[in-house]
Structure 1
Amino acid sequence: MVQILADVHIAEARIENHVLYPDTALMVFNKEQMQILSQHGVDEEEFRKTYRYYLNNLPQMDKLYEIILDTLSVREAKLRSTDTTGALPGRRPMPEGMKESF
């Protein structure tokens, strides 16, 4: 579940960053989520059942999201260590003139 939700949150952020219209974003997100579930060998019903379990057991949900945040931090650190452009995948690069002002 950790890897699935980490992948889902990355897809969600990428879509929010690149898709302008909410209806289109939702359509793209639903398609990406199905692909992520398929890659992990999980069907939608199994995912929803497991997610509902965590919604009904909030202490476990908190623990789950602590692990997800750690997972995402590790992934980001790995990307940053190999990234020479200053723009991580899924992010729009900052225009040259603006980099100095931050």
Structure 2
Amino acid sequence: MNRITFLAFAIFALTSCQSDSAKEIPAGVISRDSMVKIMADVHIAEARIQISDIRNSNPALKNTYIQEVLRRAGTDTARFNFSFKYYSGNPERFASMYEEVIIEISKKQAKQ
């Protein structure tokens, strides 16, 4: 029993220590660059929802608003959530992506 536990732990430790470049991105995951842009657009949409108080007037409208952002990006909720879960599984990578999201939001604000 102890050997099995040790082997399972060792395999887990070895596979979790691989670098990002050594891991293949699973099929169906949105590319990093596209995901950064989509995440920025989702944050902007959520901010607009907060400002316009849509969340209180019609909660379903918030979902519709986000769905439109995803549709324009050529994706859907399931694929976005799958990709979000994949990228957020690595905190360093995810923090780096969020730095890019902030830059993307700043660029969009500068254009307005």
User: After TM superposition, is the score higher than 0.5?
Assistant: yes
The percentage of counterpart residues that share the same residue type is 33
Is 2:74 the partner of 1:41? yes
The alignment's TM-score, normalised by the length of structure 2, stands at 0.63
Distance 1:75 1:58, change over 3 A: same
The answer for the alignment partner of 1:19 in structure 2 is 53
The answer for the alignment partner of 1:94 in structure 2 is none
Could you tell me how far apart the structure 2 residues matched to 1:35 and 1:20 are? 15
Distance 1:57 1:78, change over 3 A: same
CA RMSD of aligned residues (A): 1.7
Which structure would you say has the larger Rg? 2
Cα displacement (A) at 1:23: 7.0
The alignment's TM-score, normalised by the length of structure 1, stands at 0.68
SS at match of 1:41: coil
Structure 1: 4+ residue segments shifted above 3 A: 20-23
In structure 1, list runs of 5 or more residues that go unmatched.
80-102
Cα displacement (A) at 1:16: 0.4
Equivalences, count:
78
Cα displacement (A) at 1:22: 3.8
Q: Normalized per residue, which structure has more helix? A: 2
Distance 1:59 1:22, change over 3 A: farther
Of 80, 88, 98 in structure 2, the residue corresponding to residue 55 of structure 1 is 88
In structure 2, list runs of 5 or more residues that go unmatched.
1-34
User: Deviation string for 1:10-63 (max 9, x for gaps)?
Assistant: 110011011165473x42221111111111111221111100012211111101
